[in-house]
Amino acid sequence: MSAVVHEQHEVKRARYAVAAVFAVHGAVTGSFATRVPWIQDHASVSAGQLGLALAFPALGASLAMPLAGGVSHRFGARNALRGLITLWTLSLILPSLAPNLLTLCLALFTYGATAGMADVAMNALGVEVENRLGRSIMSGLHGMWSAGALIGSAAGTLAAHLGSDARLHHFLAAAVLTVLGVTACNWVLDLQPAEDEEPPPRFALPPRSALLIGAVGFCAVFAEGASLDWSAVYLRDQLGTSAGLAAACTTGFMLTMALARLVGDAVVNRFGPVRTVRVGGVLAAAGGLLIVVAGHPAVAMTGFALMGLGIAVVVPLCFAAAGRSGPNPSQAIAGVATITYTSGLVAPSAIGGIAEATSLTVSFGLVTVLACGLVVFAGVLRAGTRDRAKVDLRAAAVPDPRP
């Protein structure tokens, strides 16, 4: 029994360690996002050129994510995450050094590629910890990412307010976050491939299971990207609010998502992923309807809050389902991550294109329809839900034999 107790202690410690890595990953994103105006001025690029450059992180992530499984297989999960999170935190420095459009695109491609590979590695470890604990933790892990992003953006906002050079800001942030990330990696699970385990292909298309699960994630991330990028514009242009109130709507949406993710595991553990996503889809669709019919800012802000509440736990549950959907969890997770990153890339421009042709109200009508898709297709998450009693180490007679 002592071996089982030791195993339980190791898994619990690994849970907090991977949560810290999630927070570090989010903090890098928040640190970058707040200094985009400075980076634009430093690189002397127009708004259109900046829009082009900002497509490169998603492009880099989409191309690099399928490689993460091979890295983990070759170096082991702990060493792979340690190396990838280090590359990701250090890549924060690159965009602020770019003097022109070409170098900015290259910097952002690298930034996105390292982000995507670290994302796959840490989600794969999170799923493994969840399997061994026998209860949902992925929502909380993604909540830690959101919390890290809020902390990073708050620090970046302060740095911008003080008029600091983004190169200095990002150098200091990268140094601190690298130390925190590497330190946290010392306690994540040290998974090693079995001696007879075949290495994953260097590059492979997502498996069919990942496509179905990724479609659910696509709906949620589309709504998230649309709300983050266009909620403030919607309140300002459609409802005539002040810039301050419009910005507060976006901040409120982010806070709603972060809080919902931090408490989401308790809901998932009680009601299961399928029912949770279906109810979330109903809330998100109701929020979308409020946004579309809103004649007052308070109604629209309530709609965006409901949207954030409804979609908050969907992506974490998609990663968890992908990690349990087949013999190669990293490949499935990479597939889902690629689809969701693509959705995040497509959403802002799609909303803008539809708004230009019709109106923002019609754009958010599309978001509402996609939110309804969560209700319809939530059942595919059941395929990734195995009998967790089998992996609940609290009831195991012997510890998990994997290192």
Tell me which residue of 391, 395, 396, 400 sits closest to 136, measured CA to CA: 391
* pLDDT tens-place values along the chain, 403 residues long: 567 777 888 999 999 999 999 999 999 988 998 898 899 999 999 877 887 888 898 889 888 988 888 898 889 999 999 999 999 999 999 999 999 999 999 999 999 999 999 999 999 999 999 999 999 999 999 999 999 988 998 898 888 889 899 999 999 999 999 999 999 999 999 988 766 666 666 555 667 778 889 999 999 999 998 898 789 889 888 999 887 888 788 878 888 988 999 999 999 999 999 999 999 999 999 999 999 999 999 999 999 999 999 999 999 999 999 988 866 777 788 889 888 888 887 887 788 888 888 899 999 999 999 999 999 999 999 844 444 333 333 333 333 333 3
pLDDT at 393: 35
- Predicted TM-score (pTM) of the model is 0.84
Report angle CA 207, 211, 213 to the nearest 5 degrees: 115
Residue 396 forms part of a structural domain: no
Contact 355, 237 (CB under 8 A): no
Q: How far is CA 182 from the centre of its chain?
A: 20
Q: Looking at the 3D structure of the chain, how many domains does it have? A: 2
Residue 3 forms part of a structural domain: no
Cα 341 to Cα 353: distance, rounded to the nearest angstrom: 19
Residues 6+ apart with CB under 8 A from 182: 82, 85, 86
For residue 92, what is the domain's CATH number?
1.20.1250.20
Q: Enumerate the H helices of 92-137 as residue ranges.
A: 93-97, 101-133
pLDDT at 396: 33
Q: Do 236 and 99 sit in the same domain of this protein? A: no
Residue 112 forms part of a structural domain: yes
Q: Do 329 and 367 sit in the same domain of this protein? A: yes
Boundaries of domain holding 237: 208-381
Q: SS3 of 44, please?
A: coil
Residue 392 forms part of a structural domain: no
Q: Do 318 and 176 sit in the same domain of this protein? A: no
Q: Do 236 and 146 sit in the same domain of this protein? A: no
Q: Tokens 């150098």 belong to which residue?
A: 171
Residue 402 forms part of a structural domain: no
Q: How many CB atoms lie within 10 A of CB 361?
A: 15
Contact 127, 6 (CB under 8 A): no
Q: Enumerate the H helices of 240-327 as residue ranges.
A: 243-271, 273-293, 297-311, 314-323
Residue 197 forms part of a structural domain: no
pLDDT at 398: 33
Q: SS3 of 203, please?
A: coil
Q: Do 122 and 235 sit in the same domain of this protein? A: no
